[in-house]
Structures are given as C-alpha cells and as structure tokens.
Amino acid sequence: MDVRVVTPDGVEHHGPDDLPDLLARDDGVLWVDVPQGDPDAVKVLERVFGFHARAVQDCLQRNPVPKVHVYPGSVFVVLHGPELGQRGHVHYVELDQFVGPRFLVTVHGPVNPAVDPAAAHRETDAVAARVDSGRFRPASGAELSTAVVSALAVRMRDHLSRQTTDVWRYEQQVTAGELGDPERFLDGMFRVRHGLLAVRTMASLNGEVYGRMHALAAFGPDGQPLLENSADQFHRLATMGQTQEDYLRGVIEFYQARTNTKMTIAAERLAVIAAVTLPITALSGVLGMNVIVSSTTHLAFLAVIVAVMVAMSALLLLWTRRQGWW
C-alpha cells in the first residue's frame, strides 16, 4: 500500500508501520491507498484506523450498488466507474473511500478477472501524480477525496465520449443507407445503447449517494460546496448519458422504420403475385385434366380457358391496383 502525508511544504512517503505515528500528527493530510489483495489491508483498516467491521467487510467484496455510511470521525463511501470490455460489455470498477477530517483511505476492491488491474487505480494514480508533482496540495481529507471523485467523473465522461462517437458512426450509416448485415448492425447499436445506459446508471446512483451526503452534511459545513460539486458532476453526466441514449433510440427507430417499410413493400408484392396466380392455378388444376389429355386436346375449349385466365389476371391486377398494393 502507498502511504503519503501531504503538507504545504511537500509530500512524505512512508510505510504501513509508520501509520500509528502519522495518525497522531496534527499537520498535513494522510493518504493511504490500499490495492486489491493487500495482506495488511484488514489489519490497517480495523486495528490502526479502527473502522467499522461492516465497512471493512464491504471493502473486501464487490458491492452491487454505491452506498454511504457516516461513522464518528469518518465517512465510508462506495462508488462505481465504467470500464469497457469485450463486445460492448461494461465492467463496474469499484472505488471505496474512508474520508476523515485529515485523512483519506482509498481501497480498491475485487474486480472482474477480465479487467486490467491498472484500470482500478486510474483515478488514484492521476491524483497521486498531481500531488507528487506539487500541482495539488489538499488541505483536508474531504478535499483530497473530492479530487479522486472528480477523476472518476472524468473516466465516466471519457466513456460517454467513446460511446457518443459510436452513436455518430451509426447515425451516419443509417442516414446514408449503408446498413450492411441487418442483424449485426442492429446488434451493434444495442450494444452502444447498453454502454450509454450503464454509464447513466452509475452516474445517477453515484449522484444520489452524494446527494445523501450533502443532506447529512457528511463533510461538515465547510465541506458542503465540495459535496455539491461532486453531486452536480454526477447528475450532469447522467443527463448527458440520457440525452445520448435518446438520440441513439431515434437512430434505431429510423433504422427499424426503414427496414419494416421494406418488408411491408415486399409482403405487398408477394400478396399481388399470390392474388394473381392462385385463382389461375386452381382453375388450371381443375380443368386441365379434362382439356389436355394424352389422346386428344379440345383446342376450342383450351382457347376459352386461356382467355378466361387472362381476363381473371387482368381483373385481379386492376383490383390490387385500386387497393394500393402496387
């Protein structure tokens, strides 16, 4: 695990054994980043920091929905971010945080084996780079946590941008009539819609968590603007995802309307063919054996029947024309 103490003068790097002394200090902001599978994770979380056993257990398992628990001296927050997988699947990458007045503990819980482990550290690595370079000097655990959450919002926005690029591509193909294989084309559009729905769901749920934290004043009166900012980011991302999803739904409806129209026209043409040929087929089947035989053929009767067939075909074509079938 990475242990940092951020002060106005710089950044100090320490080991896990220094944590008791670091917690006793009254200067700087302590940041502990716990990777997945760290053998010292439970000991540090329960014994050194004294976090609630239920919250520690939540860090060791995957949580299906975001959540927040406010404890004396700390706030436990579970958030989700998107990671695009194979064939349009969207993985839920979990980020757990314990936020205190002058400390932040970020815990990276279990992820799908198909997800690159580095993807779970994207937000914390980005903020750590800013801290180590001196471009960011948080004055509290809440401020440091807000920076990590903003990095998570950037991940969600980037995912939304990639999905929007695919929406544009499909819209251009539909309007240009370049559809290709209909089954694969429709499958691709629905996979993009799934990606938009996933990021909208994550943003909405994360936003509700921060709305609850704002209602509880989880970071104290001075931290309310930070909570408002995080909640606003998630709610706007959810709105953007909903808007793009509606736009893609319009593209899908346009594609389906065009396809259904083609099928309707084809069915009408088949109906015309059936209407014209079926009576003639029935007539020839009934009378053919009595008109054309192996020994003799009644030419006069045959001429009359052919004339009747032609007349029937003409009348049926005229009738289907008046019905608007062709």
109 and 149 share one domain? yes
| Number of folded domains that form the chain | 2
Say if 46 falls within a structural domain: yes
93 and 70 share one domain? yes
Lowest mean pLDDT among 128-132, 217-221, 261-265, 311-315: 261-265
Res 66: pLDDT? 96
97 and 219 share one domain? yes
Say if 277 falls within a structural domain: yes
Query: Quick check: 211 pLDDT over 70?
Result: yes
Q: What is the average pLDDT across 139-167?
A: 96
The enclosing domain of 182 has a CATH number of: 3.30.460.20
- pLDDT of 105-124, one tens digit each? 999 978 888 898 899 999 99
- The alpha carbons of the chain give a radius of gyration, in whole angstroms, of 34
27 and 155 share one domain? yes
170 and 304 share one domain? no
pTM of the model: 0.81
Res 287: pLDDT? 64
Say if strands 2-7 and 29-34 run parallel, antiparallel, or are unpaired. antiparallel
Domain range spanning residue 52? Answer: 2-258
Say if 265 falls within a structural domain: no
Say if 264 falls within a structural domain: no
Torsion of CA 173, 176, 181, 182, to 10 degrees: 90
Q: What is the average pLDDT across 131-154?
A: 96
Say if 263 falls within a structural domain: no
290 and 179 share one domain? no
Query: Quick check: 204 pLDDT over 80?
Result: yes
Nearest 5°: CA angle at 118, between 200 and 35?
100
Instruction: State the pLDDT confidence band at 26, using cuts at 50, 70 and 90.
Output: confident
Res 40: pLDDT? 86
Instruction: State the pLDDT confidence band at 292, using cuts at 50, 70 and 90.
Output: low
Res 290: pLDDT? 57
49 and 181 share one domain? yes
Element (H, E) at 77: strand 74-84
Q: 3-state DSSP: the chain helix, strand, coil percent, rounded to 5?
A: 65, 15, 20
- pLDDT of 308-322, one tens digit each? 878 877 887 787 777
User: Would you state the structure tokens that stand for residue 216, as one six-digit string?
Assistant: 């509880």
* C-alpha span between 310 and 305 (Å, rounded): 9
* C-alpha span between 317 and 272 (Å, rounded): 8
Q: What is the average pLDDT across 300-307?
A: 77
Query: Quick check: 83 pLDDT over 90?
Result: yes
